[in-house]
Amino acid sequence: MDTHSPFEKLLKDMPKDLAEDASFVRELETYAYLVTVKKGELLLRPGEICQNAYFINKGLFVNIFTSEQGKECVTGFASDFPYPFLSEISYFTGTPSNFEIKALEDGELLCLSRTQIESLSARYPLFASYYQNVMLVIISKLYMMFAYLQSYAAEEFIQFLYAHHKWIIQRVPDKYIALYMGISTSWYCKLKRKIILKQA
């Protein structure tokens, strides 16, 4: 395999026995294809059914819900590190999504359809267990972040992000973190400056 292959990072994330299975790698490279997006572009639009799962080689993405009144709510972030997998709940339900997935940076992703993932899972049990674990990690991450968000006051939650998810503070624009927390951007920036001064 070309060391500069777009599959290199994904294969490094997989169990060694799977990544070294030449038959599996050939099929993976046949099924998956590379998707590039520009900052601000949508990977998924409201009303569309999410048919694919993605591995993020490069980039940062935000999941946004918009109410009928036009109010935006951020429900999560995904990036090339530390959470490189991306999908949406309609992938599992098969129903039109109420969310959009937006690129916050130029991105490069490997795309696999649900049908292709199921086909690989049926013939490669190690891939099936790997992918199941990936989905469990994503679900666990979303639930735990929501639990922390509900448990902490705004300043405490920002301190939590600094301590455990600094990549969010460093890479995600203030506007989207504020939307995730349900506070104004100005209030978020004020609290962030206060925390930075404390840590200086």
Is pLDDT above 50 for 83? Answer: yes
Average pLDDT, integer, range 129-141:
91
pLDDT confidence of residue 200: 64
Q: For position 23, what pLDDT does the model report?
A: 97
Q: How confident is the model at residue 94 (pLDDT cuts 50, 70, 90)?
A: confident
User: With bands split at pLDDT 50, 70 and 90, how would you rate the model's confidence at 90?
Assistant: confident
Question: For strand 60-66 and strand 33-37, is the pairing parallel, antiparallel, or unpaired?
Answer: unpaired
What are the DSSP E strand ranges found in 13-164?
33-37, 42-44, 52-58, 60-66, 72-79, 85-86, 99-103, 107-113
Res. 88: pLDDT tops 90: no
pLDDT of 9-46, one tens digit each?
999 999 999 999 999 999 999 999 999 999 999 999 99
pLDDT of residue 129 exceeding 50, the answer is: yes
Residue 1 above 70 pLDDT? no
Whether 43 contacts 53, CB under 8 Å: no
Q: Over 70: is that where the pLDDT of 60 sits? A: yes
CATH of the domain spanning 8-138: 2.60.120.10
Residue with tokens 């939590």: 160
Which residues have C-beta within 8 Å of that of residue 33, sequence separation ≥ 6?
A: 110, 111
Mean pLDDT of 139-159: 94
pLDDT band, residue 2 (cuts 50/70/90): very low
- Predicted confidence at residue 58, as pLDDT, reads 97
